């Protein structure tokens, strides 16, 4: 297994875990881009939204809904609500994805300058 997030999920490399249930973990990003920067990672290895939602329309919308719900829960628990937060999913190299195991970024705290910077 070469996937860094699968290794984190398996406890083979350390992380700062903020949340865990049967389907997801939430950890602190190693290189935070905001005062609060959390990654919500499905325990199941799915590469990206491209893999999650194939062109045949068979994607699991409930699974992605739970990913968003978990991100919102973690954002609230980290004190980002009601102020607000940013949620980002990068898809593919062209979308800036660097770890090819689907994950949701939750960013907030302080001023979030630049819409997509
Ligand atoms: P992306 O570029 O959207 O694929 O996001 C990957 C994120 O994973 C980046 O924000 C990295 O800082 C973060 N990251 C990489 N390795 C680790 C790690 N071992 N622990 C926590 N975050 C990591
Ligand atoms: Zn993985």
Model confidence over 24-34: pLDDT tens digits? 999 999 999 99
Q: What is the pLDDT of residues 5-57, one digit of tens each?
A: 999 999 999 999 999 999 999 999 999 999 999 999 999 999 999 999 999 99
Provide the pLDDT confidence category of residue 112 given band limits of 50, 70 and 90.
confident
Give me the pLDDT at residue 116, please: 66
Residue nearest to atom 15 of ligand 1 (CA): 30
Question: 3-class SS at 19?
Answer: strand
User: Which residue among 6, 18, 30, 37 has the greatest number of ligand 1 atoms within 8 angstroms of its CB, and so is best to mutate?
Assistant: 30
Tell me the whole-structure pTM to 2 decimals: 0.96
From CA 26, how far away is CA 105, in angstroms rounded? 10
Whether 108 and 35 have beta carbons less than 8 Å apart is answered as: yes
Within the chain, strands assigned E span 17-20, 24-28, 36-42, 86-88, 104-108
CB-defined site of ligand 1, < 6 Å: 4, 15, 27, 29-31, 39, 90, 96-99
The answer on pLDDT for 110 being more than 90 is: no
């Amino acid at each position: 297994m070469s996937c860094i997030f699968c290794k984190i999920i398996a406890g083979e490399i350390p992380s700062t875990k903020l949340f865990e249930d049967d389907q997801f973990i939430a950890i602190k990003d190693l290189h935070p881009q905001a005062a609060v920067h959390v990654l919500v990672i499905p325990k199941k290895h799915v590469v990206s939204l491209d893999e999650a939602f194939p062109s045949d329309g068979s994607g699991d919308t409930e699974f992605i809904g739970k990913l968003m719900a978990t991100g919102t829960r973690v954002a609230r628990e980290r004190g980002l609500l009601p102020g607000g937060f940013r949620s980002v999913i990068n898809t593919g190299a062209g979308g800036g994805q660097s770890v090819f195991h689907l994950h949701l970024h939750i960013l907030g705290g302080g001023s979030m300058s630049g819409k997509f910077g």
